Amino acid sequence: MPVRTACVALALCYATALLGAANASPRLSNLAVSAENLAFTAGTPQTSQPIVIDLSTADVVTKLAAQVCVGLFNRDGASSRGAYALIEAVDADWLADIEGIRDPTLHSVADFLELCLHGPNPVARGFLRYNYTAQKELVPNIITVAAVLDAVPLEDGHPAITGANILFDANVVFAGFKPLDATSYTFNQYANITTGISKMNPGYSKSKTHPFNPPLTRDANSGLVDYIVKERLFNFFLWNGCIPGTEEYVLQKRMVSDPSTAWKKPLDVMGYDDSWPIAGDLFEAETDCNKEHNMGQIASNGVPNLSFFSRKAKVGSPMLQNIAPAPGYNKSKTYIGIVVGDGDNIAFIRTSRRRWFMDRAARCAANQGCFPLLWTISPALLHLAPDWLRWYYNNSYASKHDYFVLPPSGDLYAYPAMMPEDMQANFMSNTERDCVLLNTSASVTWEWFDTWSTAIKHVYPKYAKQNTVRGLFAVNVPYMFPVLNFGPKEHYKILGGKVVLFKPREWRGPACTPKSACPTAHELAAEINGYPKGTVSHIYVTSDGGGNLGDIYDMVAALDEHVEVSNHEMLVQAALQRG
Ligand SMILES: *[C@@H]1O[C@H](CO)[C@@H](O)[C@H](O)[C@H]1NC(C)=O
Ligand SMILES: *[C@@H]1O[C@H](CO)[C@@H](O)[C@H](O)[C@H]1NC(C)=O
Ligand SMILES: *[C@@H]1O[C@H](CO)[C@@H](O)[C@H](O)[C@H]1NC(C)=O
Ligand SMILES: *[C@@H]1O[C@H](CO)[C@@H](O)[C@H](O)[C@H]1NC(C)=O
Ligand SMILES: *[C@@H]1O[C@H](CO)[C@@H](O)[C@H](O)[C@H]1NC(C)=O
Ligand SMILES: *[C@@H]1O[C@H](CO)[C@@H](O)[C@H](O)[C@H]1NC(C)=O
């Protein structure tokens, strides 16, 4: 290794080697490998730069192929460097904040595919032949086959195909197939080597005239493909998979009930189910998708680079969040918690919530008001992107008043009261484990308007036993329905003597519909100011109606002096002391 002896200044040598590798043909990139070894032996820098590619302008076929390769590179043991794709500006921001890599050396996508298929040390075993135009509807299934066979999906004529082995010919095997056939075939052949499931809409749009057969007008979002491939998830999309009486429903039911798969229960469904968009997306929380009620969701469609961020070991010991003081209850005050919603959605965590969090930090630093704020944050980040979680926690310490609680409905976006007892027990103990790891004691929880009675009588009191989950912020589905289980003046219920369930009160922002969920900041402040003194309550803020951090600040500015914006521990203590 001549590099070792020739280089005196390690960092300089390292940078030169990487630069050389990037500019020369990919076969020369073993130069970077030797530099990496050198760096490793010397102990600094700890990790070498991942292979970074820019996919923002790639065509859809190339994007899918490259995302498969990113997933293969990021598999355990496949490559010590890993690979990272830049799709939007925020991807570069995360790379800079977490890895300290600014202005990364970019590999060309063509070189990257060459490296993936031909090496040195190729991570793909060959290619999967398909026709994107003709088989667009089957792209979710094609990704599954790519994941289990380590095959790069390519069309005839693509430059990367030259000299590669063909491992699967979808033009032949899937000829004439609909998603139902391809899903069934893929399940029968390969489900036993997949580790979980994900749903990826290949591009259907909602249609009033063809509700059962919507038109395929868009492209699939390839963002999550790298993670699907890395983890060998069973990816599919059946538009009618949650509609009883259809063949798709029968197939999906068979798949998620089959005991021969290694899929955990309740099943955490990656991606997103946006079939049947009625009253929101009817099946997005998954628990209502089949009669077994054995699924929940991790909303993550389109989120790139999770294969890269999940290379880090999952969080195994409790994180530390700001101390949430809970002094004695004062009956002359009104206590109100403000919960920032939608933190279950990994795409939000990647983009908009990151912006809100930085905006909030700036407001606190500039003394514009630093009241306690409760951020929902997905516990799936514990394994999907531990460093994103650390980024949020690290950046909460300066304000001292940013807190984290679990998003709906705990471990997964799901409806726990719908689940059968064994499923529910797993779900609840997973939620308790998440609380410990995230160092929190509260969660948002969603139920359908007709399952609250069960939830209140039979489900949530069970959290009292371990007393890890002590506060629950209820949200009703659909949000415009009243929850008759709470009286008009009742703001919470104490369950099992220890668990406080706060009555739903959602704020979607000041400029949306219906008016009941969309008061102006002043109207909402007036409502809270008017609560009888001694009230303990919460507001769940979402952005789907246009609500934003500025609206929260406007609302808080209009609160009377006796109203105390409170952290989750204080709310629970106040409710328990008030009785
Ligand atoms: C994430 O993935 C996208 C698309 O694959 C890529 O363009 C981007 O650079 C990646 N980087 C980060 C930090 O997310
Ligand atoms: C894909 O199939 C279409 C017909 O559906 C055909 O026109 C096109 O040439 C095929 N593309 C490739 C790359 O083979
Ligand atoms: C998975 O199932 C297929 C089809 O039944 C079978 O050929 C294969 O041996 C199984 N693989 C494993 C790892 O069980
Ligand atoms: C979080 O802070 C710790 C301690 O300062 C630091 O070691 C770590 O790199 C930070 N992580 C992230 C993702 O910001
Ligand atoms: C958070 O961590 C601190 C320090 O370990 C611990 O004292 C506290 O009980 C934890 N709180 C919760 C809610 O887990
Ligand atoms: C209780 O709250 C009221 C209203 O904010 C305040 O005037 C009073 O001083 C508080 N009492 C105590 C003991 O803090």
Q: What is the 3-state secondary structure (H, E, C) of 305-321?
A: CHHHHCCCCCCCCCCCC
The per-residue pLDDT for 392 is 97
Report the separation in Å between the CA atom of 13 and the middle of ligand 5, taken as the mean of its atom positions: 45
Q: What is the mean pLDDT of the chain?
A: 88
- How far, in whole angstroms, is CA 148 from its chain's centroid? 23
Domain 338-578 sits in CATH at 3.20.20.490
Kindly report the protein residue whose alpha carbon is nearest to atom 6 of ligand 5: 439
Report the separation in Å between the CA atom of 568 and the middle of ligand 5, taken as the mean of its atom positions: 13
Ligand 6 pocket mutation, candidates 329, 330, 561, 570, criterion most atoms within 8 A of CB: 330
Report the separation in Å between the CA atom of 201 and the middle of ligand 1, taken as the mean of its atom positions: 20
Phi, psi of 338 (to 5 degrees): -115, 115
In this structure, the strands spanning 499-502 and 492-495 are antiparallel
The per-residue pLDDT for 280 is 67
Reply yes or no on whether the pLDDT at 14 is more than 50.
Answer: no
The per-residue pLDDT for 48 is 72
- pLDDT, tens digit (0-9, with 9 covering 90-100), for 275-315: 877 666 778 888 888 888 999 999 999 999 999 999 999 99
Report the separation in Å between the CA atom of 331 and the middle of ligand 6, taken as the mean of its atom positions: 8
- Atom number of ligand 2 nearest to Cα 132: 1
- Answer whether 572's CB lies under 8 Å from 323's CB: no
- Atom number of ligand 5 nearest to Cα 440: 13
Task: Measure the CA–CA gap between 439 and 399, rounded to whole angstroms.
Answer: 17
The per-residue pLDDT for 274 is 84
Q: Tokens in use for 63?
A: 């994007």
Q: Is 91 in the pocket of ligand 1 (CB under 6 A)?
A: yes
Assign 250 a pLDDT band (cuts: 50, 70, 90).
very high
Q: What are the residue ranges of CATH 3.20.20.490 in the chain? A: 338-578
Task: Measure the CA–CA gap between 39 and 41, rounded to whole angstroms.
Answer: 6
Kindly report the protein residue whose alpha carbon is nearest to atom 11 of ligand 5: 439
Q: Which ligand is nearest to the CA of 322?
A: 5
**Range name among 2-6, 199-203, 386-390, 468-472 with the lowest pLDDT average:** 2-6
Reply yes or no on whether the pLDDT at 513 is more than 90.
Answer: no
The per-residue pLDDT for 279 is 63
Around ligand 4, the residues with Cβ closer than 6 Å are 98, 387, 390-391, 394
The per-residue pLDDT for 284 is 82
Bigger pLDDT: 507 or 104?
507
Percentage of the residues of the chain whose pLDDT score is greater than 70: 91
Q: Which ligand is nearest to the CA of 134?
A: 2
Q: What is the mean pLDDT of residues 388-407?
A: 97
**Range name among 79-83, 353-357, 490-494 with the lowest pLDDT average:** 79-83
Percentage of the residues of the chain whose pLDDT score is greater than 90: 72
Report the separation in Å between the CA atom of 394 and the middle of ligand 4, taken as the mean of its atom positions: 6
- Atom number of ligand 3 nearest to Cα 192: 1
The per-residue pLDDT for 484 is 80
Bigger pLDDT: 231 or 221?
231
Q: Is 55 in the pocket of ligand 1 (CB under 6 A)?
A: yes
The per-residue pLDDT for 47 is 52
Q: What is the edge-to-edge ordering of all strands in the sheet holding 234-236?
A: 234-236, 197-199, 267-271, 295-299
Angle between helices 179-190 and 139-149 (to 10 degrees): 20
**Range name among 32-46, 173-187, 392-406 with the lowest pLDDT average:** 32-46
Question: Whole-prediction pTM value?
Answer: 0.88
- Answer whether 177's CB lies under 8 Å from 138's CB: yes
Report the separation in Å between the CA atom of 134 and the middle of ligand 2, taken as the mean of its atom positions: 6
- Answer whether 141's CB lies under 8 Å from 235's CB: yes
Q: Where are the alpha helices (DSSP H) in 152-235?
A: 170-173, 179-190, 225-231
The per-residue pLDDT for 10 is 27
Residue 320: exposure state from Cβ atoms within 10 A (0-12, 13-18, ≥19): exposed
Reply yes or no on whether the pLDDT at 362 is more than 80.
Answer: yes
- Atom number of ligand 5 nearest to Cα 468: 13
Kindly report the protein residue whose alpha carbon is nearest to atom 13 of ligand 6: 330
Reply yes or no on whether the pLDDT at 30 is more than 70.
Answer: no
Nearest to 222 by CA among 136, 289, 133: 136
Kindly report the protein residue whose alpha carbon is nearest to atom 10 of ligand 6: 330
Which residues are CB-contacts of 273 (< 8 A; sequence separation ≥ 6)?
A: 199, 237, 241, 242, 281, 283, 284, 286, 289, 297
Report the separation in Å between the CA atom of 365 and the middle of ligand 6, taken as the mean of its atom positions: 28
The per-residue pLDDT for 97 is 85
Ligand 3 pocket mutation, candidates 192, 193, 260, criterion most atoms within 8 A of CB: 192
Assign 142 a pLDDT band (cuts: 50, 70, 90).
very high
**Range name among 39-43, 348-352, 421-425, 439-443 with the lowest pLDDT average:** 39-43
Q: Is 440 in the pocket of ligand 5 (CB under 6 A)?
A: yes
Reply yes or no on whether the pLDDT at 27 is more than 70.
Answer: no
Assign 103 a pLDDT band (cuts: 50, 70, 90).
confident
Report the separation in Å between the CA atom of 329 and the middle of ligand 6, taken as the mean of its atom positions: 10
- pLDDT, tens digit (0-9, with 9 covering 90-100), for 330-349: 999 999 999 999 999 999 99
Reply yes or no on whether the pLDDT at 425 is more than 90.
Answer: yes
**Range name among 202-211, 236-245, 254-263, 496-505 with the lowest pLDDT average:** 202-211
Q: What is the mean pLDDT of residues 181-199?
A: 97
Assign 257 a pLDDT band (cuts: 50, 70, 90).
very high
